[in-house]
A and B are shown apart, each in its own frame.
Chain A
Amino acid sequence: MALRKTESTRFSGSQPAPSRAGTEHDIMQRLLATLGTMAAVAGFAYQADGATLGAIGGRAWKDSDTDCFETSSYSSSVRNECSSNEAYLVPVQIPSNSTTNYRFYATSDAGPNTTIGTPPRCRVLVVNRYSTDYEYSDDINVWNNTTIASSMSVASTDTVHYDCVMPGTGESFPHGLASVRFTAL
């Protein structure tokens, strides 16, 4: 299955503040509760102090590369089926209303303790609310539950993405990206 572009994830600045207007707020609360349940069932869930997300929630950095990314036939990971390396973004919604330090992790589909083949390389990108500032963490090889950034402060108005370069089929034993995770410190 080719992944489709998910709009509004490309550095569009801060998310609009949640509406607190009357029944709309109640409806939103109920809707979010339902979506939360569905998300948990689907294999990812947000908590107040962190979350784990399937890599399938991401998208190609460039529209022209969208068709390169496929879900694995034997796992929920995302793989690059093009021959060259391609950039892949996984948006992260920080569930906080204050500036908080977070630790970011990622897992490739190499399986536990497997360190052969070519893993994805990921880094965390934090963009401010005006899309004028861009801050990247180190570029790290992703294996099993790898720490990508040990501590990054994130304001509630910031936008956060995992920015990964996914090895293409031209690499030896290219791995996909299985999931990303973050926790509040």
Chain B
Amino acid sequence: MTASKRTLAALVFGATSALALAIVILQNRDDEKRAAKLEKRMKELSELVESAPRVEEHRTIVETRVPAVAAVAAAQAQAPAPEEPAENEEEPEPPSSEDKAAYAQSVFDTEPVDAGWATQTRRELDTALGQYLGASTLAALECKSALCRAEVKHASRADLRKFLDGVLGNSHDVWRGPMGIYQVEAADDGRVVQNLYFARKGTPLPRL
């Protein structure tokens, strides 16, 4: 390579580097401007959330979660119309545990009884669930033709956790068909009631 070519190559390299540096600097300036704008908007939203009233609903849902949900909902109700609707709209609240259990119960209630299957399956589930009950109580267990329903009562959160660890950690041994576990009651003193639905293998679990 001749000296002039080397000089030309050095100049091109230098110019390219300078251009890249300029682009980075400009981009950073742009980022700073956007950051300041968004910071201002965040501050406004934070003030709005702090001043918003809380919505009291879904009392049975874990209490630590509800205030946050309620505060956001109240803030949204008071906030001015968004500049870009549709894109950031929040999903409607999914069905509650009570609604899911009530739907499964409504299907269970209308199901005919297959005496042979019901008796044998009830016995199997009684044994399978019994392994993980600990201090909890199997208050009800009934099978029909494609669904079984159990009600389990726990005296404390510790009992609930122990039962769930056992059933979830050994779900393949407990039941091989579809299965739904719903917390339908939770008292302040730690007592919890769960409804469990077991669908016959190959049949769907009634889900909302």
Contact = CB atoms under 8 A, between A and B. Distances in A.
Contacts of A25: 38
A78 B3 CA distance: 59
Given A121-B172, A158-B94, A133 B100 contact: yes
A49 interface: no
Interface stretch (A67-75, A107-115, A149-157, A171-179): A149-157
Interface of A: 11, 13, 20-23, 25-26, 61-62, 87, 97-99, 121, 123, 125, 128-130, 132-139, 152-153, 155-158, 163, 165
A153 B169 contact: no
B91 A155 contact: yes
B42 A22 contact: yes
Nearest to A19: B42
Contact of B31 (A26, A134, A135, A138): A26
B169 A61 contact: yes
13 contacts: A22-B35, A22-B37, A22-B39, A98-B91, A125-B168, A132-B186, A133-B181, A136-B171, A136-B179, A136-B205, A138-B178, A139-B175, A139-B177
A139 B176 contact: yes
B38 A21 contact: yes
Contacts of A128: 94, 97
Interface string B182-208: 110010000000000000011001010
B179 A20 contact: no
A87 B170 contact: yes
A157 B92 CA distance: 11
Contacts of A123: 171-172
Contact of A134 (B38, B61, B181, B201): B181
B180 interface: yes
Nearest to A136: B179
Interface residues of B, number: 36
Given A87-B170, A87-B172, A134-B168, 10 more contacts: A87-B171, A125-B171, A129-B94, A130-B61, A133-B100, A133-B182, A137-B178, A137-B205, A139-B176, A153-B207
A160 to B, nearest CB: 13
Contacts of B81: none
B1 interface: no
Q: Chain B's interface: helix, strand, loop or mixed, by majority?
A: mixed
Interface of B: 31-32, 34-39, 42, 61-62, 65, 91, 94, 97, 100, 164, 168-172, 175-183, 186, 201-202, 205, 207
B171 A133 contact: no
Contacts, number: 97
A136 B168 CA distance: 10
Contacts of A137: 178, 205
A138 B201 contact: yes
Contact of B183 (A133, A135, A136): A133
Given A128-B97, A130-B65, A136 B42 contact: no
The 10 closest A-B pairs by CB, nearest first: A22-B35, A132-B183, A22-B38, A155-B94, A139-B176, A23-B35, A165-B172, A134-B181, A136-B179, A135-B180
B89 to A, nearest CB: 9
Contacts of B168: 11, 125, 134
Nearest to B177: A138
B97 A138 contact: no
A135 B179 contact: yes
B113 to A, nearest CB: 22
A132 B97 contact: yes
Contacts of A156: 91
